[in-house]
Amino acid sequence: MDLFKKTEAKQNFDVAREMGVYPYFHMLSSGQDTEVVMEGKNTIMLGSNNYLGLTSDKDVISAGIDALKKYGTGCSGSRFLNGTLDIHVALENELAEFLHKEAVMTFSTGFQSNLGIISAICGRNDVVLCDKENHASIYDAIKLSYARMIRYNHSDMVDLEEKLKLIPKENGILIVTDGVFSMSGEICKLPEIVALAKKYGARVMVDDAHGLGVLGEHGRGTAEYFGLEDDVDIIMGTFSKSLASLGGYMASTKRVVDYVKHNSRPYIFSASITPCSVATAMAALKKLKENPQMVKSLQDIAKYMRDGLKKLGVKIIDSQTPIIPIYVYDDKKAFLACKLLLERGVYVNPVVSPATPVGQALLRTSYTATHTREQMDRAMKQIREVLDILEC
């Protein structure tokens, strides 16, 4: 059979195009900000992970320009060989200090970070316990590691313990969870996870891609939020969200980081982060350290939107993060809602099956510390009107 035969069958995206509600790959002709130019129209951006609004910060941009001038456009090699710059090391040291960990190593993307960490740490004789709603990169990482994967029901600590009880003592055990779940905005039950890990001799890894700059008094993420920074063995994060750049990192002990550096194929065989990306991430981190009030601004604008949507009778998933999913239930209605909102100058993301259970489709909205209340009021009005049209 021809390998490409599968590509000829009609797909869901073909149907969405035929219906005129295809919601993906919209073109921007401006930078990421609270308002963007999308498809030639000014649009309030409620679908970005630019949580601190630093992608348009002049100091962050200037740092990237300076790095381009000094180091050029790329490193032309992996960190393992010729691709380590002094600014790579400086960023890692600053992150380690900020996160209260002994050491940090950086990867070229957040997705690659999970692949590189888990595939190096875990092997055939190990077991990885994975929350069912963890990010796709965690699932792929476990496959790459050849470790045995056991999924536990989302944030179900009873189920997690039942699974832990069945693992032989001779197996290495890693419990891995998103800190903030990217679709729902829920925060993981880290205190309970840590307690179970200690009880059963497991290690804990937190994917804090959506936690850094979002949770904790200083924005250090989920572990700081719960006061458990010394109890999480590995923290993974990204630069593409709060730190307004591209790349990812792992924070742990010096020995664990050193081991991964010498055993992670996704790390060893990938080119290092570009100088511009390193410099912008470092400048954004500096902003966060010097202005922790940005985290409060982010929480305040998210609360304003959350409270406002509730007053309008909009059904949301309630959380303490700047991710606010709105129920529309039906997949087709989700696509149509995105289209209607975009026509009205508001961008949101559709979340449909299989990313959600059938009949639980969502509009994922997310917020930025630099959003204004006036923008939120305009967006809320349009959301309510569109949901009324669709009878949601």
Structure tokens at 112: 């690659």
Residue closest to 282 by CA, chosen among 308, 329, 256, 249: 249
Q: Do 119 and 264 touch, CB atoms closer than 8 A?
A: yes
Can you tell me the distance from the alpha carbon of 169 to that of 90, in angstroms, rounded to the nearest whole number? 40
d(CA 129, CA 118): 12
- What amino acid occupies position 77? G
Q: Is 98 left (phi over 0), alpha (psi -120 to 50) or beta?
A: alpha
3-state secondary structure of 232: coil
Q: Would you say 51 and 241 are in contact if contact means Cβ atoms under 8 Å apart?
A: yes
Residue of 355, 372, 373 whose CA lies nearest to 364: 355
β-bridge pairing 323-329 and 148-152: unpaired
| Alpha carbon of residue 289 to chain centroid | 20
Cα(23)–Cα(41) distance, integer angstroms: 16
156 alpha carbon, distance to own chain's centre: 21
Cis peptide before 275 (omega within 30 of 0): no
State how far the Cα of 138 lies from the Cα of 117, in Å rounded to an integer.
Answer: 10
Bridge partner list, 178: 207
Rounded to a whole number, what is the distance in angstroms from the first to the last CA of the chain? 45
Which residues are catalytically annotated? 182, 210, 241
Query: What is the residue-level pLDDT of the chain in tens, covering all 392 positions?
Result: 899 999 999 988 898 899 999 999 999 999 999 999 999 999 999 999 999 999 999 999 999 999 999 999 999 999 999 999 999 999 999 999 999 999 999 999 999 999 999 999 999 999 999 999 999 999 999 999 999 999 999 999 999 999 999 999 999 999 999 999 999 999 999 999 999 999 999 999 999 999 999 999 999 999 999 999 999 999 999 999 999 999 999 999 999 999 999 999 999 999 999 999 999 999 999 999 999 999 999 999 999 999 999 999 999 999 899 999 999 999 999 999 999 999 999 999 999 988 888 899 999 999 999 999 999 999 999 999 999 999 88
In this structure, are residues 276 and 60 in contact, taking their beta carbons and an 8 Å threshold?
no
Rounded distance between C-alpha atoms, residue 265 and residue 119, angstroms: 8
* Domains delineated in the chain: 5-51+292-389 (3.90.1150.10), 58-290 (3.40.640.10)
Angle at 336 between CA 332 and CA 342, to 5 degrees: 150
The SS3 assignment for 128 reads strand
The first and second tokens of residue 204, run together, are: 């804990």
- Residue 284 CA to residue 302 CA, distance in Å, equals 21
How far apart CA 34 and CA 110 sit, in angstroms, is: 23
